[in-house]
A and B are shown apart, each in its own frame.
Chain A
Amino acid sequence: MAEFLQFLISGLTVGAVYALVALGFTLIYNASGVVNFAQGEFVMLGGMVTVFASAAGVPLVLAAFIAVVVAIVIGLLLHRLAIEPARGASAVTLIIITIGASILFRGIAAIIFDKQFHKLPGFTGETPINILGAAVQPQSFWVLGGAAVVVVALYVFLEHTILGKAVLATAANRLAARLVGINTTTIMAIAFGGSAAIGAIAGILVTPITLTSYDVGTLLALKGFAAAMLGGMGNPVGAVIGGLLLGLLEAFGAGYLSSTYKDAFAFLVILIVLFVAPQGLFGRRVVERV
Chain B
Amino acid sequence: MGALLNQRFLILAMLAVVIAVLPFVFPSSYYFRVASLVWVSALAAIGLNILMGQAGQVSLGHAAFFGIGAYSVAIGPTHLGIPSWAALLIGAALSAVLAYLVGRPILRLKGQYLAIATLGLGVRGALVISTESGWTGGPDGMPVERLTLFGWRVSGSYTWYWVTGALLLVGTWIALNLDETPTGRAFRALHDSEVAAQVVGVDVARFKLQAFVIAAVYGSIAGSALAFMNGFINPDQAGFLHSVELVTIVVLGGLGSVVGSIVGAAVLVTLPQALTVFQEYEHLLLGLIIIVSMIFMRNGIVPSLSGLFHRKART
Contact = CB atoms under 8 A, between A and B. Distances in A.
Nearest to B132: A260
B244 A95 contact: no
Interface residues of A, number: 41
A101 B291 contact: yes
Interface stretch (A43-51, A118-126, A131-139, A270-278): A270-278
Interface in B260-315: 280-291, 294-295, 298
Interface string B73-96: 000000000000000000000000
Contacts of A219: 123
Contact of B115 (A92, A260, A271, A278): A92
Interface in A131-184: none
A188 B280 CA distance: 33
Between A86, A92, A261, A271, the greatest number of chain B beta carbons within 10 A of the residue's beta carbon is seen for A92
A75 to B, nearest CB: 15
A103 B286 contact: yes
A270 B121 CA distance: 11
Given A89-B298, A91-B112, A95-B115, A107 B284 contact: yes
B251 to A, nearest CB: 7
A90 interface: yes
Given A274-B113, A290-B195, A97 B284 contact: no
A275 B244 contact: no
Contact of A263 (B109, B117, B127): B127
Between A89, A102, A104, A218, the greatest number of chain B beta carbons within 10 A of the residue's beta carbon is seen for A104
Interface string A258-290: 001101100100110011001000000000001
A280 B292 CA distance: 34
Chain B contact residues, majority secondary structure: helix
Interface residues of B, number: 41
Given A100-B287, A107-B284, A271 B127 contact: no
Given A267-B124, A275-B108, A96 B284 contact: no
Interface string A97-123: 101111111111011000000000000
B295 A85 contact: yes
B79 to A, nearest CB: 20
Interface string A53-95: 0000000000000000000000000000010011001111101
B60 interface: yes
A86 B290 CA distance: 12
Nearest to B251: A96
B116 A107 contact: no
A5 interface: no
B58 interface: yes
B131 interface: yes
Nearest to A33: B112
A89 B294 contact: yes
A225 interface: yes
Closest 8 pairs (CB-CB, A-B):
A104-B287, A100-B290, A107-B283, A107-B284, A103-B287, A100-B291, A91-B112, A97-B294
Interface of A: 35, 82, 85-86, 89-93, 95-97, 99-108, 110-111, 218-219, 222, 225-226, 229, 260-261, 263-264, 267, 270-271, 274-275, 278, 290
Given A96-B294, A229-B116, A275-B105, 6 more contacts: A92-B58, A92-B112, A97-B290, A100-B290, A222-B123, A274-B113
22 contacts: A86-B295, A89-B294, A91-B111, A91-B112, A92-B111, A95-B112, A96-B290, A99-B290, A100-B244, A102-B287, A103-B283, A103-B287, A106-B287, A107-B281, A107-B285, A110-B283, A222-B120, A229-B116, A260-B131, A264-B127, A270-B120, A271-B117
